[in-house]
Amino acid sequence: MRMFDILKNGRWRLCAAAFTAGVFLAPAAYADTVIVTADHMVDTLNGTVTDNPVVTITDGRIVSVSSGAAPETGDDIRRVDLPGMTILPGLIDMHVHLTGLAEIGGYRMFQYTDAFWTVAGVANARATVEAGFTTVRNLGSSDYADVALKQGIERALVPGPRIVPATYAIGVTGGHCDNNFLPPSYDAKSEALAEGKAALRARVREHRKYGAEVIKICATGGVFSKGTTVGEQQMSVDEIRDVVEIAHMLGMKVAAHAHGNEGIKAAIRGGVDTIEHASYLDDEAIRMAKEAGVAFSMDIYNTEYTLAEGEKNGVLEESLAKERQVGGIQRESFRKAVAAGATVVFGSDAAIFPHGHNARQLPVMVRFGMTPVQALQAATSKAARALGREGDVGAIAAGRYGDIIAVEGDPTRDVGILTNVRFVMKGGEVVKDAR
C-alpha cells in the first residue's frame, strides 16, 4: 500500500488523527521504581557475597546496587524486602526444549497433535521461571513454537522466562535432528534438514526471518534419536562453516549438538560458539575450545533421570543403552574441562527431565569438579557472556534487567538450595513469592 492509499483509507485516517491527538493529551509517563532489599547478595561478577544489598530497579532495569540501610521510600516507590534471604541474579539455562516433555518418550509422542507441544510449552515456561530460571536458550522446537511462546510471554499472556529461540534445529538426513522414527512410506522428516552450501545458508536466513536468535546444528549423532550413534560426526567442517558464516553475519551465535570427539573438533574448527553435551573430550578438544573461546554446555544431570524414569516414560531401549554408554564418560569430560580452565556454562537439556528441575544440575556440577561459586557463575555471568547478553542478564548490576531470585541459606556453600527458590522477580515484576 502506498502512502497515498493509506491516507485515502478511512481507518488509517482515523488512526492518524488519534495519534496526533494523543501527542497533546497523553499525561507524562511516570517511571515505575521498585527497591529490593535482602540480608545477602551473591555478586556473580566478582564471585563474592555482600551483606544488606539494596537494589533499585526502574522500568524493569537495575539502576543502582548499594549496601546498607534501605532508604525511606514514599508511596510512589514499590518495596520488596526479603529479610533472612540471599538474592542472586535470575539463573540462565543455555539449553532447554520448552516444548518437550520428559514424561512422553519414544513412540508415545505420536499420540499427540502437533500443536499439543506448544500447549505443553506454556506449562513448561511457567515451571521454568518459577524455578528461578529467568532466561533460557531454547535449542530446538517445531512449528516456531518457541517464537510463539516468547511473544506470549513478552505480551504477558503467560508467565515464562526470557527466551532466546533457535526455532528448528538444523540437521542432516537421518541425523540426530531428523525424525527417524517411521518407515519410508510415512515420509517423516524434520522440516529443517539442510545439506550442502546453498541449502544450509538459506536455512539460516529462513530461521532468522521467522524469529531465530541463535542457530542450533546437530554435528553428531545423539542419545534420543533413533538409528544414530553418539560418536558419529554428521556434518562436515565445511558445512558447519557455512552455517556459522551466515549466522555470525546476521548477529546470531551457533550452538552445536556434539557428543563424539571428531564432531566436537569439527564444530570448533567450523567456528561455532558453544558445544552442547561435549561428551567425549580429549585434551586436544579442550585446548582447541579454550583457544577459540568456545564454551561447553554440558547436561550432566539428566543421566540420573533417564536411567531411573526413561523406561517408564517410553524412551527407546536403544536410547537407554546409549545413555548408559555416554553418561559416565560425559561427567569425566566435564571434570577434565573444568580442571583445564575451559569455559563451561550451565545447559541442562530440560525436556529430557521435567522442566523446573533444572537447578538439580548445580550440585552435580559441584560433584564433578566445580566450586559452588563456579557453578553459580556458569548459570549467570558466564552464561550471559556466552549468550552475548552481558548488557542485560546474568548479574545484579546497573543496566541489567531486574531479574532477581531469593533463597534461604548460603548458595555459595550449598548450591543445592537453588532447587528451592522462594522468590522470583523478572524485569522488576514479582513472578513468584513463596516465602
Where does this chain bind ligand ARG (CB under 6 A)?
222-224, 277, 299, 302-303, 323, 326-327, 330, 349, 352
Q: What whole-number distance in Å separates Cα of residue 367 and Cα of residue 372?
A: 10
| Residue 217 in grid coordinates | 546444528
Longest alpha-carbon distance in the chain: 71
**Which C-beta is closer to ligand ARG: that of 105 or that of 222?**
222
**Which C-beta is closer to ligand ARG: that of 304 or that of 410?**
304
Which residue has the closest beta carbon to ligand ARG? 222
Which residues, other chains included, contact 111 with Cβ-Cβ below 8 Å and sequence gap of 6+?
104
**CB 161 → ligand ARG: shortest distance, Å?**
20
**Which C-beta is closer to ligand ARG: that of 327 or that of 409?**
327
**CB 320 → ligand ARG: shortest distance, Å?**
11
Instruction: Give the DSSP H or E segment for 10.
Output: helix 10-25
**CB 188 → ligand ARG: shortest distance, Å?**
18
**CB 331 → ligand ARG: shortest distance, Å?**
8
**Which C-beta is closer to ligand ARG: that of 128 or that of 306?**
306
**Which C-beta is closer to ligand ARG: that of 165 or that of 402?**
165
**Which C-beta is closer to ligand ARG: that of 162 or that of 277?**
277
| Total count of residues recorded for the chain | 435
**Which C-beta is closer to ligand ARG: that of 99 or that of 303?**
303
Helix spans in 142-236 (H): 145-154, 197-209
| Residue 351 in grid coordinates | 525436556
**Which C-beta is closer to ligand ARG: that of 37 or that of 234?**
234
**CB 126 → ligand ARG: shortest distance, Å?**
23
**CB 272 → ligand ARG: shortest distance, Å?**
16
Instruction: Give the DSSP H or E segment for 62.
Output: strand 61-67
**CB 198 → ligand ARG: shortest distance, Å?**
28
Q: How would you label 112-137 residue by residue, b for 16+ Cβ within 10 Å and e otherwise?
A: eeeeebbebbbebbbbbbbbbbbbbb
Q: What whole-number distance in Å separates Cα of residue 319 and Cα of residue 232?
A: 15
Q: Which residue has the cell 527458590?
A: 421
**Which C-beta is closer to ligand ARG: that of 288 or that of 316?**
316
Contact predicate 394/384, CB 8 Å: yes
Instruction: Give the DSSP H or E segment for 49.
Output: strand 48-51
Which residues, other chains included, contact 409 with Cβ-Cβ below 8 Å and sequence gap of 6+?
86, 417
CA 191 to chain centre: 22
**CB 352 → ligand ARG: shortest distance, Å?**
5
Helix 283-292 × helix 261-270 angle, to 10°: 20
Parallel/antiparallel/unpaired status of strands 253-258 and 274-277: parallel
**CB 29 → ligand ARG: shortest distance, Å?**
45
Parallel/antiparallel/unpaired status of strands 429-433 and 423-426: antiparallel
